[in-house]
Amino acid sequence: MANFGQDDPYGTGGESTGSAVWWALRRVLLWGGLCLVVSLAVGNRLVGVWHSAEAPAPPPASASPSTPPNTLVYRADKSGHVYLTAEVNGTPIRFMVDTGATTVALSRAAAAAAGISTGELKFNVTSSTANGVTRAAYVKLRELRLDQLTVYDVPAIVLQNLPGVALLGMSFLTKLQSYEMRDGVLTITYW
């Protein structure tokens, strides 16, 4: 084997062609790994923006000529969640539709804004949430209004530690004629 010395482009010291290939492979893996790390960092930064503490503004309910009467339609955001604003006892509250939640769930702040005296609540119920186990108090919402739909006497809970948005759960959804989530579109039908 010839020793290329200073003219050796791969720094192999004149070793075999296999060493040159190994050197090139290491460089490709190094640059590929660096590109992967950068793309994941940028991707996670974007995901962090999409999942910020404050949910993005919901798209408005759409009513088109083909939408039947007594029907509301909402589109999911990029993460697949449907966010909407409903009035609880006349006060606008931000909700995420959650078919996995047994009941409508409010934070203490949302409950207080809706006129519920949080100082008198008895947090004597244990509730398992996506954020862990917390204490809750049962309440009944006088009315929950979603656009032109109003549902009265909706069972709900106030969670001691509910961060962020309230949950529009099954205690509301089961009072509807029907609801369906298909292709990122929530369709609510009521009587």
Res 46: pLDDT: 39
Confidence of residue 16 (pLDDT cuts 50, 70, 90): low
Spatial strand order in the sheet of 178-182: 71-75, 185-189, 178-182
Res 22: pLDDT: 73
Q: What angle do CA 46, 56, 75 make, to 5 degrees?
A: 105
Radius of gyration of the chain (CA): 28
Res 33: pLDDT: 61
Per-residue pLDDT tens for 105-161? 999 999 999 999 999 999 999 998 878 899 999 999 999 999 999 999 999 999 998
- The residue length of the chain stands at 191
Confidence of residue 45 (pLDDT cuts 50, 70, 90): very low
Which residues are CB-contacts of 129 (< 8 A; sequence separation ≥ 6)?
A: 105, 159, 162
For residue 13, is pLDDT > 70? no
Q: Classify the C-alpha dihedral 120-123-125-128 as positive or negative.
A: positive
Model confidence, pTM: 0.66
Cβ atoms of 127 and 135 within 8 Å: the answer is yes
Res 5: pLDDT: 47
Res 35: pLDDT: 57
Q: Which superfamily, per CATH, for 71-189? A: Acid Proteases (2.40.70.10)
Largest distance between two CA atoms of the chain: 90
